[in-house]
Each structure stands twice: as C-alpha cells, then as structure tokens.
Amino acid sequence: MEAVPTEEPAPPRKKRDDDHHRTNEGKTIILFGLLLTDLVFNSTLEYDEWDSYPTMFGIQVFIEICTFAVVFLMLCETYPFRVGLLDALLAEFRSIFWVHPLYVCWSLLVGIYRIFLGRQVSKYSGAGFRRLPNMWDTSDPAGETYTYLSHAHKLLAAIYYFINIRAAVRLGDGVYYAREQWVKLYHRTGGSRHELRKLLTKRHDEFEDDAIERER
C-alpha cells in the first residue's frame, strides 16, 4: 500500500513592513490615551479633595511607567531596531530615554513629599491626605518647598508631553518600517549618525508640513 503524501504545514507568515506600521498606529492611540490620563491627574490630583491620595498617586506613577513601555514597544516595531541599527535609532529618539526616567523620578519626589506633609498634618488635625492647609503657603518652609517642586513638575510635564507626541508623530513616517527606504538613507549618509539625523530631521519637517496641508 502506497503511503499518502502529506502536505507540509505552511511556514508562519512574517510581518510585512505595513503590518509593523499599522501595529504602531494602534499603539499611538494607546499612548495618547495614557498621556491624556496623566494630564488629568496633573490637573486634579493636587487640587481636589482626594481621601485616597496615595492610591491615586500610585496609579499615576503606574500610568507613567506604562507610557514608557508603549513608546519602547513602538520603537521595537521599527526596521532599524529589528536589524540592530540601534545607534541610528537612538540618535533620533535619545530624548525619550532621559525624559521618562526624569519625569517618573520627579513625580515620585512630589508625591512622596505630599504624603509626608499629609502624615505630619494628620497627626495634629486629622486632615488625612486632603488638600493640606500649608501646601501652597510660601511663607511656610514646607509649603514653599512643595510649591517649587510642584511648579517644576508641571514645567517638566509640558516637555514630557511634547517629546512623546513628537516621537509618536515621527514614528508615523513610513521610512522607519520600509527596508528599502531605510537602506537608501543609511547609504546616503555613509552610516554617519550625525548626517543621518540631519537627513531625518529634514524629512520629518517635510512630513509634518504635508500632514498639516492634508488637514487643511
């Protein structure tokens, strides 16, 4: 009896460049949602009457960590990251890797100091973690310190939002996913990170101008 030939299973389909691009479009929506949530926390957490401030503060820090994870996963989808051209990619998105740790650490500093003030006040007044009477009182040393920390945090937050939104917009450029386009750019610059960054910056300016024109 002759053996019936069996069909070999088809190899798993590899992700095309367009698939990586579409995946990042979904992650961009998640990123904007996380940034918006962090903005809401920054606009309300210090000014509303929160009984459970430590819990809400912990949620905000968790959101900030998730934001970095989403941005990092977006970078993982790019062609340079997949083939190991990390130097070229980091030259363009270096600011992501300093603004996130700085912002999280500053958020921790502000939040922990607020909790410390709440513990001190609650010993005498039972105010718990509600809006503290001396939080914004610059004549009080503790209030003055908190005011400066909080104002610096809000300024840093503006930079943090800008860098993340700019990274998301730039990662919308198909050059980061198309092998042929990236190889062309790489060869045109001779692999120089400085020249590659200049070329990409020029391309990004044109890309953003085109996006504005399309919206009009």
Residue entry with tokens 């929160």: 50
Under a CB-based contact definition with an 8 Å cutoff, are residues 129 and 50 in contact? yes
Residue 1 confidence class, pLDDT cut points 50, 70, 90: very low
Under a CB-based contact definition with an 8 Å cutoff, are residues 96 and 73 in contact? no
Residue 193 confidence class, pLDDT cut points 50, 70, 90: low
Q: Can you tell me the mean pLDDT for 55-84?
A: 90
Tokens, residue 170: 């730039």
Distance in angstroms (rounded) separating the CA atoms of residues 16 and 49? 50
Give me the chain's average pLDDT, please.
Answer: 77
Distance in angstroms (rounded) separating the CA atoms of residues 193 and 88? 6
Tokens, residue 62: 């968790």
Supply the pLDDT for residue 216: 53
pLDDT digits (tens, 9 = 90+) for 2-46: 554 454 554 444 455 566 667 778 889 999 999 999 999 998 887
Supply the pLDDT for residue 187: 72
pLDDT digits (tens, 9 = 90+) for 115-172: 877 766 555 445 444 455 557 767 777 778 888 999 999 999 999 999 999 999 888 8
User: How distant is the alpha carbon of residue 15 from its chain centre?
Assistant: 25
Percent of the chain with pLDDT over 90: 29
HSE-up (13 A, CA, CB side) for residue 149 = 19
Supply the pLDDT for residue 87: 76
